[in-house]
A and B are shown apart, each in its own frame.
Chain A
Amino acid sequence: MEPESSNRVAQHVRSLPRSGIRDFFAIVAQMPDAISLGVGEPDFVTPWHIREATIFALEKGRTSYTDNRGLSDLRREISNYVETNFNVDYNPEDEVLVTVGVSEAVDLALRALLNPGDKVLYHQPCYVSYHPGAILAHGQPIAVPTQSDEGFALNPAALAEAWEPGCKVLMLNFPTNPTGGTASPEVLRQIAKFACEKDLIVLSDEIYSELTFDGTHTSIATFPGMKERTIFLHGFSKAYSMTGYRIGYACGPVDLIEAMMKVHQYSMMCASILSQDAATEALRNGKDSVAQMKEQYHRRRDYVVRRFNEVGLKCHLPGGAFYAFPDIRSTGLDDQEFAQRLLSEQKVALVPGSAFGADGAGFVRASYATAYEKLVDATFRIEAFVNSL
């Protein structure tokens, strides 16, 4: 009996497809000498002052559970940080929840908000968890396609077209993994207006916001009428290079945070106290580290995007994150074939765009969280591959 067809597994879990990332990882894992531009996390190790604070916490014997909501010091720091940098004011007592990465926060929000059959709008290509996250919460995901020539920002008209009765939640992620797309304040204003009209709750995953290269990042929560219908999701993985710490947070209206807290306390209980101490240190003293890392990503972005375009793979200029998302359709190959042949012929790993939803087909994701020497080598190999077709 095929494991997938086993009745022992819940129907909605059985219906989930395997992750395309997982499939591709299995192939790349067999080629240890390949240059990988498939890594979705920073190449910088966590800044030392943060690691040192973690060691100190351990030395002090801070190994207990914490308040379900997270340490009060950390919640206060989060509240200050979000107010200073995003211009939204949240009460650390009852409008902030510390979670195990943003991934848990997304899961909590969907589980806390959705009744079976409620519809969830999200823009695609997108982070791999949104679609399955909605299904696991018994929701019905509805993808809104975004376009390369619009920088993969969410087009308000496309959003309106995709909307249908029963839509309860809109998920946003700007800057976007995998496209690096950002949304201008004008686009966000229109989306906000639409969300108010249709009474949508917005889950805004702003994990890459510090890595915004052109202009300044704006949160949708700042628009009129939005704070009360937005759950602002953020974390430490990308800006502070703390992926392995698994630490994030959600800010939002009291009733929604309380509902998420309920799910959190019965499932996760609390985030690791060591990670919470590290996150507190990051917010208190990490500003310079973030600026330095951002500067390097910015320069690498300019290089990688220029090279993709020179090679003949049309690539929009991503406004943030650390991914380029070039269009490979001019090669006549589909994204799966392109990625697999590039890997076997030139030993460079990129992630097929369709791993991020059907609208990513025809594109590949290249992470430039990689040292220059490897980036330069990889782009020459990609050029050789494209020229050989």
Chain B
Amino acid sequence: MIATRIDIIALSANVVPFLMFMSQVLQLLLDGERLSTEQMAEVLGLSTDDIDQELDRLSTDKVLLGWRPVLNPEHADQGLVRAVIEVKISPEREGGFDRQALRISRFEEVDSCHLMSGGYDLLVVVKGSTLHQVASFVSERLATIGGVLSTATHFMLRSYKEQGYLLVDGDPEDVRPAVSP
């Protein structure tokens, strides 16, 4: 597998309001450069212990959820099939959509799951190694869960941007003269 970028963080969904007040460490990570703990310490004028402590805090507070690489889904070695599933479910008294959404989310095949406004309730992104595997998951596991009223499956054909990274042109070339006024 080829990683287009590694060390890219997965942030929890409720992080956006937090960004206004985020730590310098988090801000550095979000700038998107791949910096080691030592480099982050150097840039911020802190010790590596300080950086580790802050990263631990971000993990404990579930602001920082993980450190998965962002992979290029277009790379041939990946062989991933991805589909977006629109799911309609009937909400439950006192629980709303949460119980069923969590039940769906726990499947390994499910990459992400979001409650949506509009014409359907849940948007579920499913991954599998073959088209057949994803189709089976949807028809045999997802659609059969109690309370699921309907599903509409859309297979992804090609990706152009993945988690903020352009897949087509890549980074622009730096054509600036080495010295300028």
CA gap between A25 and B44 in the complex, in Å: 31
Please tell me if A239 contacts chain B, counting CB pairs below 8 Å. no
A303 at interface (Cβ–Cβ under 8 A)? yes
- CB within 8 Å: A-B pair count: 65
A389 near B: Cβ within 8 Å? Answer: no
Residues of B within 8 A of A19 (CB): 181
Q: Please, which residues of chain B bring their CB within 8 A of the CB of A40?
A: 179-181
In the complex formed, the residue of B with least CB distance to A40 is B180
Residues of A within 8 A of B31 (CB): 296, 372
A153 at the interface (CB under 8 A from B): no
Using CB atoms, name the residue of chain A closest to B24.
Answer: A299
Mostly helix, strand, loop or mixed at chain B's interface? loop
Determine if B35 and A45 form an interchain contact, defined as CB atoms under 8 angstroms apart. no
B53 beta carbon closer than 8 Å to chain A: no
Assuming A303-B43, A372-B39, is B176 touching A349 (CB within 8 A)?
no
Residue of B27, B174, B179 near A24 (CB, 8 A) is B179
Q: Which residue of A lies closest to B44 (CB)?
A: A303
A38–B178 contact, CB under 8 A? yes
- Distance (Å) between the CB of B180 and the closest chain A CB? 4
Given known contacts A373-B33, A373-B39, A376-B39, A129 and B181 CB-to-CB distance under 8 angstroms: yes
Taking the closest CB of chain B, its distance from the CB of A136, in whole angstroms, is 16
Q: In whole angstroms, how far apart are the Cα atoms of A177 and B44 in the complex?
A: 25
Q: How far is the CA of A177 from the CA of B33 in the complex (A)?
A: 27
Residue in B28, B35, B45, B174 whose beta carbon sits within 8 Å of that of A43 in the complex: B174
B179 and A28 form a contact (CB under 8 A): yes
Q: How many residues of A contact B (CB 8 A)?
A: 31
- Centre residue among B35, B44, B177 by max chain A CB count within 10 A: B177
Contacts of A41 in B (CB 8 A): 176, 180
Per-residue A-contact encoding for B132-164, CB less than 8 Å = 1, 0 else:
000000000000000000000000000000000
- Is B178 a contact partner of A25 (Cβ separation < 8 A)? yes
**Shortest distance from the beta carbon of B25 to any chain A beta carbon, whole Å:** 12
Q: Are A45 and B172 in contact (CB-based, < 8 A)? A: yes
Confirm or deny: B56 has a beta carbon within 8 angstroms of a beta carbon on chain A.
no
In the assembled complex, the Cα of A362 lies from the Cα of B177 at a distance in Å of 24
**A299: B residues at CB distance < 8 A:** 24, 27-28, 43
Q: Is the CB of A39 within 8 A of B33?
A: no
B176 touches A21 (CB 8 A): no
**A-B pairs with beta carbons under 8 Å apart, 17 shown:** A19-B181, A21-B180, A29-B178, A34-B178, A36-B179, A39-B177, A39-B179, A177-B181, A299-B24, A299-B27, A302-B45, A303-B43, A306-B45, A351-B179, A372-B31, A372-B43, A376-B42
Which residues in B have some Cβ–Cβ distance to A below 8 Å?
24, 27-28, 31, 33-35, 39, 42-45, 172, 174, 176-181
Please name the 7 residue pairs, one residue from A and one from B, whose CB atoms are nearest each other, closest first. Answer: A38-B179, A25-B179, A36-B178, A40-B180, A28-B178, A128-B181, A45-B172
